[in-house]
Each structure stands twice: as C-alpha cells, then as structure tokens.
Structure 1
Amino acid sequence: MTQPPAPAGQTVVDPGVLAAGVGEMGALVGQCEGATNGAAQALVGMQAAVGHPGLAGSLNSANETAVQVMLAVGKLLAYVGEGLGQSAQQYSDTESANVAVMKSVHATIA
C-alpha cells in the first residue's frame, strides 16, 4: 500500500521500505565480507613477495587491522539491518492495532 504524502512537519513511515532496507543491509554485509577477503588476500600476497622482514611484518599488521575493521563494519551493517527489520515489524503491528481500534470505534458509533 502506498503511503499518502506526509502533512507539513510530519513524517510518514512505510514499513515496507524499512523491511526492504533489511535486504539492502544484508547485501552490504556480503560486499563487506568480499572486500575483506580480497584485501586480506592482496596483503598476504604482498607480504609473501616483499622479501623484507620489517615490511612483511608491517603488511601482516596492516592485514590484521584491515580484517578487524572490515569485520566490525560488517557487524555494524548487520545490526542496522536487524534494527530496520524490528522497526518495520513494530510500525506494521502498530498500524494494524490502530486499524482494529478504528474499526471498533466505527462499529460502536454506527
């Protein structure tokens, strides 16, 4: 169902749009995992090819840091996606409850 435009100064929330965001966040998590694997493989490859112990150690440290950061970003995206899903459900449940109340009020008046 398409939501009507929001009155001035108000926001209309569409649970369907929130729910769609869950899938988008999931896709971003997948992309983040792919980027993490790619970066780790590249750094490991450079580390193996460098032939200098100090530089190899630095590349290893950079690899570990990059993996930790990307894993944290992935967890953050998953958390945001979960929140979107919960918000969508709450808005949908509230909307259904409001419709039920309005039907009850209408039945009482009619």
Structure 2
Amino acid sequence: AGGLAHIYVNPASAIPTIGASGAISGILGAYFILYPFARILTAVPIFFFFYFIKLPAFFFLGLWFLIQFFSGTSSILTEPTSMGEVAWWAHVGGFAAGIILVPFFLIGRKKPARSFT
C-alpha cells in the first residue's frame, strides 16, 4: 500500500523506489490502533543535551505521521534530485493501510485469557 501511494503521487518519477519503509509504516499504523496509550521512551534534544521522556504512542506516532505528511506535501512542490529522495508518500500510505487493515487481521481472534497466578 505504501508503494502504491508513492507511485500515485509520483507517477513520472524515473528514480527507483526500494526499501521496506512503507511496510514498517504499516506496522506503526497498526501499533497506533492497538496500543494507543503505550508509553514510548523518546529522546528529546534540547541544545546539546538529550532528555528522555515517555510519551503516549498516539502522541508520538501522530506527530510522526504529521511530519511524514507535511514532508510529503512539500516534496511535491520541489524538483526530485538525481540522488533520490525519501518516499514520504510510501510512509503515509503504509501508515494509513496499517490503521485500516488491522481490524481485519483481528477478526475471529479471541483475546488470550489472563492468568493471575
């Protein structure tokens, strides 16, 4: 799905697109739905130091998605370079596919019994 999104936005691109970033983005989209309140340890750079804070997954991944979306939008307005670019729209499409498809993968699955022993 990520590759299809990239091709849709960049149909005339002669630069080959390789990698698994669209698939990884799909996993992030599924995580966004399945574990929205999981805490993600995040390094935050402030001047020359890194501070570590825990952020909820929905906030961290939501911010990540917005960065991908706006970077993809700005890439449409610029000319591609011969060195290649980041496939921003593959990330956006993969993330969206993960969000949309994860419920279908859960159909028929039973929740595991919790053991309190």
Return the TM-score normalized by structure 1: 0.35
More strand by share: 2
Return the TM-score normalized by structure 2: 0.33
